[in-house]
Chain A
Amino acid sequence: MTTTKKYWKGLAQLHDDPIVEKLAQNEFVEELPVEKFLGDKENLSSTNSSRRDFLKFLGFSTAAATLAACETPIVKSIPYLVKPDEIIPGVANYYASTIYDGRDYASVLVKTREGRPIKIENNGTCSNSRVQASVLSLYDSARLKHPLKQNQEASWRTVDSEIVEKLSNIKEGKIALLTSTILSPTTTQLIKEFSDKYKNVEHLMIDSTPYDGILDANLDSYGVRLAPSYSFDKADVIVSFGADFLANWMANEYATDYVNGRNPKNGKMSKHYQLETNLSLSGANADKRIQIKPSEHGYLISSLYDALKGKKFDSRLSPIVKSLKSANGKSIIISNSNDKNVQLIVNAINNKLNNYNNTISINEPTHLKQGNTQKLNDLLVDMQAGDVKALITYNVNPSYSYANSSQFNEALKKVDLKISTSLHNDETASLMDYVCPDSHNLESWGDASPKHGTYSLMQPTISPLFKTRQFQESLLVWTDRSDYLTYLKNFWTNNGIDWNVSLHDGYFNISEPKLSLKNFIDKSSPINLVSSNEIELELYESIALGDGYQANNPWLQELPDPLTRACWDNYLTISSHTAEQLGLLNWNVSNGALNGSLVDITSDDVVLRNVPVMINPGQARSTVGMAIGYGRTKAGKAGDNVGFNAYPFTNKKTITIEKVEGEYEFASIQLHHTMMGRDIVKETTLADYIKDPSSGNHRETYATYKGKLTADKVSLYDEHDLEHGHFWNLSIDLTACIGCGECVISCQAENNIPVVGKAEVRNSRDMHWMRIDRYFSSDMTEELSAEQKISMIDMFSEMEEPSENPEVVFQPVMCMHCNHAPCENVCPVAATTHSNEGLNQMTYNRCVGTRYCANNCPYKVRRFNWFQYSDNDKFDFNMNDDYGKMVLNPDVVVRSRGVIEKCSMCIQKIQELKLDAKKSGKPIEDKDAQTACASSCSTNAIIFGDSNNKESLVSKLRTDERAYDLLDHLNVRPSVFYQTKIRNKA
């Protein structure tokens, strides 16, 4: 029986739509130019190569390639002629040293291989991502390679003799030495000696972000122009008015203490209030965050002082006042205001609360900020008047970072002798007569005193790569001497320091008597509320770039901001409410990437055009934030013209915003902002934790015939043998993690992770092996929807929207090293396999690039090499640069195109650790087991170790009530686990 039944491919075919017929006729939707080319006889005959020629070429090139492949490559091996005793090829040496670039300070251990520094490790102090990345800045090929005279190459001999001659000839007018804050006692001494030789030398220090407010207030209160040191671990209540002390405020050393004061195991956590405009890292970690406008800043501090004096106060402050009342001598009040009057009230509050000598120490001050902007302003007047005959700059870039840089540049023209000692031919150096390039920290000798009684030494870990000379040596030469090392050594040995021991340790303490200061004088005066309807601007230093000194460091440029998750940019952060009012939008385009509206911003005479707008939850209404450190013009190929220079807005309070045509393309690596009601980050409060340590650590169950069981009880997998030998585990404490991103850079340095550039990040092809997911809380919760009878669809769509003042959680995510790994099952070539030590191994040379594993990974931590990122002009970053490549870790393969890569749990470090133990015939000690992320973590949020070693910290953490597996319902049995986030809130 034949059937007449006819099947239609679609409604269009049934209705005889002409397009169906058209498509049926046309196989290739996009027309191929075959006809056009072959049909044109003339065109065809005029081509030089025929089809036969083509086949000949093809045959020849195939044959040639085959033949070429047969030849054995000759590899040369060139040993040292005279091998330095301390170098054994293949074995790393560590040197204690110091990093200080005029902004960030850290005592560090420098790992060198074959005489090349390749990694920075912390030497017991808190550091940050910029310190970690500074090893790449050493190999910056944009650094000056020789001295410059009028922007032309010159020899040191010429430059020195001319400078000395010119300096000596200055009879009238002054010589100005403009530097960053100097931490080095010997440099201070040298500057003094320099001043003795050349009369009329004025030494000025400035900070890229000025702290005059605090310094001047202390001058009034205590008679010393110094900034105090803080002990955040001793504080029960921390109230920060805008000060991002966990990231960039003052010294980068508070995070460790802060987290030490917030260990829920002790049953006590400090209570952290943050009152701020922009959502900062500290605000994100705060227990209670209150949004304020910059114009309210002084008023609220004043009101808090009133409250403590028992007067009427702003109702927003009531929980703070309540907390402070029971924390006599155990609180810290700080403010990022640069207004002396505000800081005077802060001092008065801290004095009232009895914090001095308890949590705040003014007689053991920090030395990290000593700049005086007023002196620079005065200098500018003198320069303008022609009174300054010579200007020498060190570690500063005022043509870029001074609020009034055009005025500075103008005044600079009136100076006869202009000398810069910058490492780069930067914005300021390029305007100078002479540039005497300083050496990088890792090439220099030095010392530093970050704090009263604390000292650290800097030692070179490599000979200068270029014809550079450290600033101290230049000062010696200009005072007719040389050899800074001997100078430094004599200086300290004369002070009774054991040079060798101190150099080995990297630091030493001198028990100096505390400063004797006059008694506190309260010079504060109340500040009233000034209401304003204008949009207020607050500048901030971004987590990645800070003040922009290392803008040419591609690692830092590609480090996503912890909060906006965007990289390679700065932008105007704005609240969703204000954005709506101004008609500004953020939206995702077809490939998921984020686009934003453009605006022109104006404040008095300062204008920035076509600035993109980033809607950032947490930003206070009617305010905008913008990061400084971007918009460099003479930083180098990676840093030039990235973002906008916000420094000219330094002293501007309000701006006008005008929407303009066009859209901006961001490179943001996180597109979902909320957890959508899932417990990806498990969270509880301190009160609940004390009642039940496993609170918040709820586990999904499955209904089985044996009753409700958790996923690990219903496994279908065969178990790996993880009982014998090692079982490497990583514990991540979400309470201790502040989201700073230091581990991301550390991982990048350790594992030769390429930089892919803004366009590829935008394509979601970033290569970082670890990311720090950031989630905002949403106003909508499941409870609320049940209460208000909101439909599922509405609930989920509302859940996508972060709150206007959200709670923020950070979650570092790397390969979880699942012991039931979904990726291992789907690899067709067994390129990803499991080890008997609980690691998920990735074998690059087996990988054929199907990406099945990446698709099957529930955590999305596998990265595919879409391109060859090394030696490729399309990716012109450090891996395409002879100098930049020197930072690569020789123990880790540089991956080629077409393979998957991911976190290896630093298997090279594990193997080295085991080998050292085997060679010395001793069991592994727990403290020696480290991954790059764990060793760099300043807050000890990441703990690595062997869970089969019952003594190890990680084995105890694994069985802790707070421990949980990410997406535990999948039962993939990760080797990486988390500790619940605990907030100190009611």
Chain B
Amino acid sequence: MTIPFNNNRLLQLLFVVFISFSSVLAQDTNVVIDSIAVQKGEQIFKANCTACHVMGDKKLIGPGLLGVTDRRTKEWLKKWINSSSDFIASGDADAIAIYEEYNKVAMPSYYFEDTDYEAVYAYLQNPPLPKVIADAGDLLVSEDEGLNISTQLMFIALFLLLLVYVLTSLKNKLKDSLAQDTETITQTLVNQFNLFISNNRNIVFVAFACFIVVVKFGYDSLSSVGIYTKYQPEQPIAFSHKVHAGENGVDCNYCHSSARKSKHSGIPSANVCMNCHTYINEGTITGTTEISKIYEAVGFDPDSRTYISGYEQKPIKWVRIHNLPDLAYFNHSQHVVAGKVECKTCHGPIEEMDVVYQHAELTMGWCIECHRTTEVAMEGNEYYTELHEQLKEKYKGQKITVDKIGGIECGKCHY
């Protein structure tokens, strides 16, 4: 179990500043360009082109487009994009060569506004810098938290040593000036310690302090037994929700489709991954390493983009993060559809998590607390029409919360 958040905000800030500064430096080496156009071009590119082209050297359905602006002129590209078949028919040698090379499949025609075409060209001219590919392990633990605590402790220890040294030397100086015997640091420490323990009150105080610490520590650790908030296990594939749900804005229900229908939210089957990853062979953080694990599981050859026939598929063994005990019945669709609860209410800022951790406590107290305060989504649901009228009369003016319709009865979750 690791906690991803670093207490040392300062270091994090420094890191971020450093990274952004360096990227600014890197951009400075290029010709100054219209960054707005590039951004727009990127959007158009992602919406229209990524199904067949990658911004790299690799072939997908069509050629990789890194450095295409060096190979072709702007006019050539425009003609090709507008209508490749007409262009080929016009007898352009380069166009015919590409047509032949890619199995005689002409590219579909795209008619962009001039500004849009400019933007796409600007993007093709200024491809994003190849990202530094991080290792999966790096992704999981971006900064090691244990090291930070020990560093802090080390600083404190150093500071204390320094203090002792300064005070001792000060004392020695004073003694020196008074022509008394000087002491070494060790002698001072031993003397001071003896002086300290010679007073019974001190001993009682220390013992009491220790007792309080032990009790507090014991209480905290015992009351956290079985609570796995922040539980963040390492997964077989370093899948980043931040990239998918956050940056790319994929709807939760796209992958976790059964959350609306079933008690299980459902871990998506690999064929759902393959809906997109047939074409997207490279990730933004880990490159091909993690995505290739899906291919290995389902038996997909990214080069020929075909499924390997007769391949013995290997199931992906995800580590379950939210472990509700068997004795408690929980139904996702109840909360998502009937209760209209947002995913993030219980799962937290998923779109910011590279590696998902358990956000909520998942204790019975946590469930009940929510049931006591959440109003039932009765409006507009015919199931509740009659009951709503009855309850409005019974609880005049009060919020009709889940517990008022029996939502905290034992038998609602335990059977």
Residue from B261, B271, B384, B410 having most chain A Cβ neighbours under 10 A: B410
Of residues 260 through 302 on chain B, the ones whose CB sits less than 8 Å from some CB of chain A are 261-264, 266-272, 297-298
**Chain A hits for B231, CB < 8 A:** 72
Of residues 835 through 869 on chain A, the ones whose CB sits less than 8 Å from some CB of chain B are 835-837, 839, 841-846
**Chain B hits for A89, CB < 8 A:** 258, 262, 264, 266
Task: For A74, give its contact among B315, B319, B383 (CB under 8 Å).
Answer: B319
A91 in contact with B261 (CB, 8 Å) = yes
Q: Mark A84-105, 1 if CB is under 8 A from B, else 0.
A: 0000111100000000000000
B267 in contact with A82 (CB, 8 Å) = no
Q: Mark B229-247, 1 if CB is under 8 A from A, else 0.
A: 0010100000000000000
**Chain A hits for B50, CB < 8 A:** none
* Segment touching B, from A595-603, A754-762, A774-782, A913-921: A913-921
Complex Cα–Cα for A849 and B272 (A): 47
Q: Residues of B within 8 Å of A, CB-based: how many?
A: 55
Check: A493 CB closer than 8 A to any chain B CB: no
Query: Which residue in chain A gives the minimum CB-CB distance to B297?
Result: A81
A82 in contact with B319 (CB, 8 Å) = no
Complex Cα–Cα for A831 and B385 (A): 33
Q: A89-B262, A837-B406, A844-B414 are in contact. Are A83 and B269 (CB under 8 A)?
A: yes
B334 in contact with A915 (CB, 8 Å) = yes
Q: Mark A889-928, 1 if CB is under 8 A from B, else 0.
A: 0011100000000001001100100110111111110000
**Chain A hits for B264, CB < 8 A:** 89-90
Q: Would you call the interface of chain A mostly helix, strand, loop, or mixed?
A: loop
**Chain A hits for B391, CB < 8 A:** 724
* Segment touching A, from B33-41, B53-61, B198-206, B323-331: B323-331
Check: B390 CB closer than 8 A to any chain A CB: yes
Query: Which residue in chain A gives the minimum CB-CB distance to B405?
Result: A725
A90 in contact with B415 (CB, 8 Å) = no
B387 in contact with A81 (CB, 8 Å) = no
A79 in contact with B327 (CB, 8 Å) = no
* A387 smallest CB distance to B (angstroms): 50
A81 in contact with B262 (CB, 8 Å) = no
**Chain A hits for B88, CB < 8 A:** none
A75 in contact with B323 (CB, 8 Å) = yes
B390 in contact with A724 (CB, 8 Å) = yes
Q: A90-B258, A91-B262, A907-B415 are in contact. Are A81 and B318 (CB under 8 A)?
A: no
B414 in contact with A76 (CB, 8 Å) = no
Check: B412 CB closer than 8 A to any chain A CB: yes
B320 in contact with A76 (CB, 8 Å) = yes
A922 in contact with B267 (CB, 8 Å) = no
Q: A918-B383, A924-B383 are in contact. Are A81 and B298 (CB under 8 A)?
A: yes
Q: Mark A330-350, 1 if CB is under 8 A from B, else 0.
A: 000000000000000000000
**Chain A hits for B337, CB < 8 A:** 918-919
Q: A837-B406, A843-B414 are in contact. Are A78 and B266 (CB under 8 A)?
A: no
**Chain A hits for B319, CB < 8 A:** 74-77
B409 in contact with A72 (CB, 8 Å) = no
A78 in contact with B405 (CB, 8 Å) = no
Complex Cα–Cα for A78 and B315 (A): 7
Check: A49 CB closer than 8 A to any chain B CB: no
Residue from B1, B263, B271, B385 having most chain A Cβ neighbours under 10 A: B263
B338 in contact with A919 (CB, 8 Å) = yes
Complex Cα–Cα for A919 and B336 (A): 9
A891 in contact with B329 (CB, 8 Å) = yes
* A876 smallest CB distance to B (angstroms): 23
Check: A8 CB closer than 8 A to any chain B CB: no
Task: For B382, give its contact among A76, A841, A892, A922 (CB under 8 Å).
Answer: A922
A72 in contact with B271 (CB, 8 Å) = no
> What are 29 sample pairs from A and B whose C-beta atoms fall under 8 A apart?
A75-B319, A76-B319, A79-B267, A81-B269, A82-B298, A90-B264, A91-B261, A91-B262, A723-B390, A724-B387, A724-B391, A725-B387, A725-B390, A725-B405, A833-B411, A835-B409, A836-B406, A841-B411, A841-B415, A842-B411, A843-B410, A843-B411, A843-B414, A844-B414, A908-B415, A911-B329, A911-B412, A911-B415, A914-B383
A-B contact sample (19 more), CB < 8 A, given A89-B262, A836-B406, A836-B409 = A77-B267, A77-B319, A79-B266, A79-B268, A79-B269, A79-B315, A80-B270, A81-B270, A83-B269, A83-B271, A836-B405, A841-B410, A841-B411, A841-B414, A846-B414, A893-B327, A893-B415, A921-B381, A922-B383
What 3 pairs across the A-B complex have the smallest Cβ distances?
A841-B411, A90-B262, A83-B269
- Residues in chain B within 8 A of chain A (CB atoms): 1, 225, 228, 231, 233, 258, 261-264, 266-272, 297-298, 313, 315-320, 323, 325-327, 329, 331, 333-334, 337-338, 380-387, 390-391, 394, 405-406, 409-412, 414-415
